[in-house]
A = this chain, B = another copy of it.
Amino acid sequence: MCEANAYMVEDGNEHLIMESVDTVEPEGADLWRLVNIFGEQKSLRGHIKGLNLVDHKILFQAPDNG
């Protein structure tokens, strides 16, 4: 299986948000819906900082707070 783990990067540290993510879809500005291979869903606020698929990583960054 080729799912990845989603992390929120804060202060250079990667915090695991969800494992075995299959789909990521935008739900709005800076809002993403993650669904893993078990059908679990999570909404996440931030933007995509990068994908490293060979490393099974989806990196998010918190939105800039005004």
Q: Which residues of A approach B to under 8 Å, CB–CB? A: 1-4, 21-26, 37, 47-54, 56, 58
Contacts and interface: CB of A to CB of B under 8 A. Distances in A.
What is the count of identical protomers in the complex? 2
Contacts of A24: 48, 50-51
Contacts of A2: 2, 4, 53-54, 56
30 contacts: A1-B54, A2-B4, A2-B53, A2-B54, A2-B56, A3-B53, A3-B54, A4-B53, A21-B51, A22-B52, A22-B53, A22-B54, A23-B50, A23-B51, A23-B52, A23-B54, A24-B48, A24-B50, A24-B51, A25-B49, A25-B50, A25-B51, A26-B47, A26-B48, A26-B50, A37-B54, A48-B48, A51-B51, A51-B58, A53-B53
